[in-house]
Amino acid sequence: MVIAIFSDVHSNLEALDTFINETYGKVDMYVCLGDIVGYGPDPVVCINLVKSICGTDWAIRGNHDRAILEPRKTSKFNFIAAQAIIWTLGIISENEVNYIKELSDIIDYKNYLFVHGGLTEIDEYIISKTSATRNLDKLSSLGKNILFFGHTHIPALWTYEGFKEITLNEPIHLSNEKFYLINPGAIGQPRDNISLGSYLIFNDVENYVIFKRFKYDIEKTYQKIINRGLPEYLGRRLKFGI
């Protein structure tokens, strides 16, 4: 099975569209690791596109998606993120809200688990060896080999040895004897100082992942953010990958 794994769309239609065009017909299935909404200008279309490729079984609810269901949770968000959630609530309909309600916080499939943040805490950021080790311990205690996660917006591959340098567009072979935490990066708001969208391809038969980056029309997304009255910074940061 060839699986396209992606995360953190954040209502960025131009990025999501480019990703789907690049992968459609070439993969057997899609898995979304959450944060379909928040920050960006196209929540309605993005939710419906994710629904059409992942259904309800293969998409996770992220912290921004949960904030749609529990707007009081935005008190934990920074001011700009909270503003974007309030704006999103004003334009999505019951259909979109119902889809988000149907999603789960974790997907358990074969030897793999899929979450948005982490296994030891729902909204944790796995960005250090300490947090990675904690999650690898939990993963192995559950008898699983790979945890696919998002939330940090940074592509990553962790093992007990630490952070593995990622090479793009070539298979990184995995061992059934080892434990891995793997993050596809963000479709719609990368934060590794690279403005390109990011995802990965997982081949669960040949047991490898391929990290991919793609160019999309950032200027169009930027203009929509301005025209729809969202904070200008949310557009500017896309140009810098921050």
Binding site for Fe ion (CB under 5 A): 8, 35
What Å distances lie between residue 6 and 31, 102, 197, 241, CA to CA?
6, 19, 10, 17
Asked if 187 contacts 19 with a C-beta cutoff of 8 angstroms, the reply is: yes
Chain residue at closest Cβ approach to Fe ion: 35
- To Fe ion, the closest distance from the beta carbon of 114 in angstroms equals 15
d(CA 85, CA 28): 32
In angstroms, the CA 197 to CA 215 distance is 6
Nearer to Fe ion, 14 or 35 (CB): 35
3-class DSSP state for residue 116? coil
Residue closer to Fe ion, measured from CB, 87 or 179: 87
Helices (DSSP H) in the chain: which residue ranges? 13-23, 43-54, 63-69, 79-91, 94-102, 129-141, 218-227, 232-240
Count of other CB atoms within 10 angstroms of residue 233: 12
CA nearest neighbour of 155 among 241, 95, 219: 241
Nearer to Fe ion, 81 or 218 (CB): 81
Name the 3-class secondary structure at 36: coil
Report the candidate in 50, 54, 58, 60 with the shortest Cα–Cα distance to residue 17: 50
Q: Give the residue with the Cβ less far from Fe ion, 34 or 145.
A: 34
Least Å distance, CB 116 to Fe ion, is: 8
The residue (of 35 and 124) whose beta carbon lies closer to Fe ion is 35
- Token pair 């008898």 is at which residue? 143
> Which residue, 12 or 135, has its beta carbon nearer to Fe ion?
12
Q: Minimum Å distance from CB 66 to Fe ion?
A: 11
* Shortest CB 10 distance to Fe ion, Å: 6
DSSP state of 164: P
Least Å from the CB of residue 98 to Fe ion: 21
Residue 56: CB minimum distance to Fe ion, A: 20
Task: Provide, rounded to whole angstroms, the least separation between the CB of residue 237 and Fe ion.
Answer: 12
Identify which of residues 8 and 192 has a Cβ nearer to Fe ion in the complex.
8
